[in-house]
Amino acid sequence: MNDGMDELYRDIILDHYRNPRNSGSIEGDSVIIIEEFNPLCGDKIIVYLHSLSGELIDDIKFIGEGCSISQSSASIMTDLVIGKKIEHAKQIVQQFHTFITGGNIDEDDNSLGDIDAFKGVRKFPARIKCAGLAWNSLDKAIDSMKKLT
Amino acid sequence: MSLESKKLLDRTTQIRSDFPILDRKINGKRLAYLDNAASSQKPMQVISKINDLYSNYYANVHRGVHSLSMESTEAYESVREKVAKFINAGNINEIIFTKGTTDSINLFAQSWAKNNLKKGDRIVLSEIEHHANLVPWFMLRDEIGIELAFIPVLDDYTLDIEAAKKIINSNTRLVSISHISNSLGTIVPIKDIIDLAHHNNAIVLIDGAQSIPHQNMNVIDLDIDVLVFSAHKMLGPTGVGILWAKMDILKQCEPVIGGGDMISKVTFDGALWNDIPFRFEAGTPNIAGVIGFGEAIDYLNEINYIDLCNQSHVISEYTRNLLEEMEFVEILGPKDKLLRTSLFSFDIKNIHPHDVAQILDSEGVAVRAGHHCAQPTLNKFGFSSTVRASFYFYNNFEDANQLIESLQIVKKRFLQ
Ligand SMILES: Cc1ncc(COP(=O)(O)O)c(C=O)c1O
C-alpha cells in the first residue's frame, strides 16, 4: 500500500518522537529563548540556545508540544547543530528549508544527518509547517543572538 | 431495526446521490466526510442553481431597470424571505446578509454594541465560545472599555447555569453565546440564559452556526434578540451569513461600512442612510452566494432535514459508543446524551491529533484536528488540540465504521 504513510512516518521520525534528544530547558542569562507556534493547530516549540563565544553552539535544548513531525524535527534539529559553528548552523537551516520545500541538497553531506527523514513530508503541504517549526525557532534564535553580539 | 429507521436509512442512500463529492475517492479509498462542523458539502441542486444564475439571468442587483438586473434582484431578495421563514422571523427586513457568522458578530459589535454601550457596561460570554464570539468583543473592550464576563464551563462540559445567575447582573447589556459548542458538542440551554438576560434587561445574541444546520429554530418562541449563522455549514456557498435582529434593535444600529447601496441620498456634504436592512449591506453583495443559499434552504425543507438530522445523530451516537469502548481513546463532551449534538472531540493517548487525522485521511476519512478555533476552551480541559468527528444527514453507518476501523490502523502505526 503506497499512501505515503510509510514514507511520512519513517522509523527514524517515530524514534525521535518517542525518544526526543536534547529535550528540556537551559537556564542562564545568556541563553536565547525563542518560542514558535503553529496557529493552525496550536503546536509549540521553545528553543533554548546557548553560546558563550557567540561562534559555537555550546548547547541547545527544546521544549515542545505537538505532532510527531514537529517534535521529531526539533529533536533532529538540535542533534544536528549542537557543537557546530553558528554560521554552519545557519547554513543547515537554509538547506533544511530548501529540502523541505522540494529543492535539492547534497545528500552526501554528512553534516545534514537525518534531514532526509523528512522527505516524505514534502508530499503533505499541511505538514511542512510542522516540520519547519523548530528550524524557524533556531533561525530566529541565531538572528537575535547576532543582534546581541 | 424498526421499519421507520430502515426507511430513513434508505432515504439517506437516496440523499447521498445528490452530493457529487461523496463519490470521490481519497487516496484510493471511499470518502467518509466527517468534518461537517467546519463546513458541509453541497448538493447538485445548489451547484446547479449558481450555474443557472450565471448562465441565464446574472446581473448586479438593486441597480438597473433592465431585465437581467430585475430577475437577479428578485432571486436575491426572495432569499431574505426564505431565511425569515426558516427561523420564523416576523419581518423580512430584519434579515441582513453578511459574509458569515464571524462577519455578523463583528458587524453587531461595531454597529450596535459600540454605539449603545459605554464604559463599565457588561457583556457576558461563555467559556465554550468560538474565537468568532470572543475576539470581536476583546477588540470592543479595548476600544470603549466595556467589561467582559464569562459563564464558566464545568468539568462535565456543560455551562454553569448557577454561576450564570450571578454573572448576568444588572450591568449586563448583552449576553452573546453559542447555541452549540463547535469544539465540545455541548448543547447550551439557551432558553434559561435568555430568561436570565431578559430578567436583567439585557439582550441576547445567539451564535447558531452549529445548531441551525441541524434543528428547527424559532426566534419568536425562544424570544431571541439577535441570531447569527453561516450558509456554508448548511449546504450553502461560502461567503454568506445572516445577521438577524429584532427591528427595534436594528434601529439602534449604525452602519459600519459606507458605500453604494447603503444610502438613500448622497451630496458632497454627506449621506442619508438607506432603509434597514440595506444600510448594513454596502457594495455589491455576494449575489450568487445568496441565491445559492436560497436553494440550500429549499432543499433542506424539501428533504425534511430535521428527521434526517435525527437519524445522523443516531449514527453519531453509535460511533461515539464504539469509540468509548476503545481504551486508548478519550472523548470530550457531556455524558448526558440529551446535552450533546452530532459531533464529538476526542484524544488518543500518546498520538497527536495531527498524526491521527493524517492517517485517517490516508484511509479516506476526513476529520478535523486542531483547536477548532476554541483555544481557551480546549486549554481549560488540558488539551491544546483534539480530533473532531462531526456528522451531517448524508453520513451513514459505513462512514462510522470506516472511522472506527481506521482508528485501529492509527493505533497499529503509533502504539505498537
Ligand atoms: C460556533 C461557531 N461560531 C462561529 C463560527 C464561525 O463561522 P464562520 O467561519 O462561517 O464565520 C463557527 C465556525 O466554525 C462556529 O462553529
Q: What would the pLDDT profile of B210-269 be if each residue is shown by its tens digit? A: 999 999 999 999 999 999 999 999 999 999 999 999 999 999 999 999 998 898 999 999
DSSP string computed for A58-125: -EEEEEEES-HHHHHHHHHHHHHHTTSBHHHHHHHHHHHHHHHTT----TT-GGGGGGGGGGGGGG-H
For residue B37, being part of any structural domain is answered with no
Helix axis angle for A68-81 and A125-148, nearest 10°, is 40
Q: Which whole number is the average pLDDT over B192-207? A: 98
Q: How confident is the model at residue B7 (pLDDT cuts 50, 70, 90)?
A: confident
String of b and e for B158-174 (b: at least 16 CB within 10 Å)?
bbbeeebeebbeeebbb
Q: Residue B43 is placed in which grid cell?
A: 448538493
Based on the domain organization, do B115 and B262 belong to the same domain? yes
| Within-domain flag for B357 | yes
pLDDT of the residue at B415? 81
Residue B270 and residue B171 in one domain = yes
Inter-chain touch B358–A127, beta carbons under 8 Å: yes
Q: Do A3 and B28 touch (CB under 8 A)?
A: yes
Mean residue pLDDT of chain A comes to 90
Q: Whose CA is nearest to atom 16 of ligand 1?
A: B182
**Rounded CA separation A85/A55 (Å):** 6
Cα–Cα dist B276/B278, whole Å: 5
Output the domain CATH number for residue B125. 3.40.640.10
- Domain edge (last residue) among B277, B301, B325: B301
A21-30, A78-87, B3-12, B78-87, range with the lowest pLDDT? B3-12
pLDDT, one tens digit per residue, over B300-310 is 999 999 999 99
pLDDT band at A108 (very low <50, low <70, confident <90, very high): confident
What is the dotted CATH code of the domain comprising A3-148?
3.90.1010.10
Residues 6+ apart with CB under 8 A from A4: A120, A123, A124, B362
Per-residue b/e over B366-379, b at no fewer than 16 CB within 10 Å?
bbbbbbbbbbebbe
Domains contained in chain B, number: 2
B281 lies in a domain? yes
Measured between beta carbons, the chain A residues lying within 8 angstroms of B358 are 5, 8, 124, 127
Residue B139 pLDDT class (50, 70, 90 cuts): very high
User: What is residue B89's predicted lDDT score, i.e. its pLDDT?
Assistant: 98
Closest residue of chain A to B355, computed from CA coordinates: A67
Residue A103 scores a pLDDT above 90? no
Q: Last residue of some domain: B266, B301, B336?
A: B301
pLDDT at B20: 98
Among A30-44, B48-62, B276-290, the minimum mean pLDDT is found in A30-44
Binary contact (B354, A65; C-beta < 8 A): no
Q: What is the pLDDT of residue B63?
A: 80
Task: Name the nearest CA neighbour of A129 among A100, A91, A105, A92.
Answer: A100
Kindly tell me if the per-residue pLDDT of B173 is higher than 60.
yes
pLDDT of the residue at B377: 94
**Position B5 pLDDT exceeds 80:** no
Which residue numbers of B are catalytic? 373
Average pLDDT over residues B53-72: 94
Identify whether residues B268 and B285 lie together within a single domain.
yes
Same domain, B231 and B311: no
Res B398 pLDDT > 80: yes
Residues B310 and B333 in one domain: yes
Pocket residues: Cβ below 6 A from ligand 1:
B 100-102, 130, 132-133, 178, 182, 207, 209-210, 230, 373
Residue range B96-102: mean pLDDT, rounded: 98
**CA dihedral of residues B353, B359, B362, B363 (deg, nearest 10):** -100
Confidence of residue B1 (pLDDT cuts 50, 70, 90): low
Which stretches of chain A sit within 8 Å of chain B by CB? 3-5, 8-9, 14, 40-44, 65-69, 71, 124, 127, 130
Q: B251, B275, B301 — which closes off a domain?
A: B301
**β-bridge mates for residue A34, sequence order:** A47
B165 with B294, same domain: the answer is yes
Residues B86 and B24 in one domain: no
Whether residues B110 and B94 fall in one domain:
yes
Rounded distance, CA A106 to CA A94, Å? 12
Cell numbers for A146, please give them: 547576532
Cα-Cα-Cα-Cα dihedral of B294, B296, B300, B303, to 10°? 110
Same domain, B267 and B314: no
Cell numbers placing A100 = 523541505
In a domain, B251, yes or no: yes
Grid coordinates belonging to B407? 482508528
Q: Considering only A23-27, A38-42, B139-143, B188-192, which range has the smallest mean pLDDT?
A: A38-42
What is the B35 CA–ligand 1 centroid distance (Å)?
A: 13
* CB-CB neighbours of B14 under 10 Å: 10
Residue B146 C-alpha cell reads as 466595556
d(CA B275, CA B252): 13
Four-residue CA torsion sign, B95, B98, B103, B106: negative
**Closest CB from A3, A40, A68 relative to B352:** A68
Q: Over the stretch A6-60, which tens digit does the pLDDT of each residue have?
A: 999 999 999 999 999 999 999 988 899 999 988 777 789 999 999 988 899 999 9
Decide the pairing of beta strands B241-245 and B95-98. Answer: antiparallel
Closest-approach residue (CA) in chain A for B348: A67
The pLDDT, as a whole number, for residue A106 is: 76
Residues of chain A with pLDDT > 70: what percent?
97
User: Rounded to an integer, what distance in angstroms lies between the CA atom of residue B139 and that of residue B134?
Assistant: 9
B362, B384, B414 ranked by CB distance to A3: nearest: B362
Judgement on whether residues B283 and B250 belong to the same structural domain of the protein: yes
As a whole number, mean pLDDT of residues B169-188 equals 98
Range of the domain at B170: 47-301
* CATH code for the domain of B370: 3.90.1150.10
- Look at residues A133, A140, A135, A130 and name the one whose alpha carbon lies nearest to residue A9: A130
- Residue B148 belongs to some domain of the structure: yes
For residue B39, being part of any structural domain is answered with no
Is residue B272 domain-shared with residue B329, that is, in the same domain? Answer: no
Percent of chain B surpassing pLDDT 70: 100
Q: Using 50, 70 and 90 to split pLDDT, how confident is the model at A78?
A: very high
Decide if B396 is inside a domain.
yes
Which pLDDT score, from 0 to 100, does residue A40 have? Answer: 73
Percentage of chain A beyond pLDDT 90 is 67
Provide the strand spans (E) within B274-413.
329-331, 343-348, 365-366, 368-370, 386-390
Ligand 1 centre distance from Cα of residue B101 (Å): 6
What are the cell numbers at B283?
457594495
Helix (H, G, I), strand (E, B) or coil at A12: helix
What is each CA distance from B252 to B24, B145, B276, B305, in whole angstroms?
A: 49, 20, 11, 35
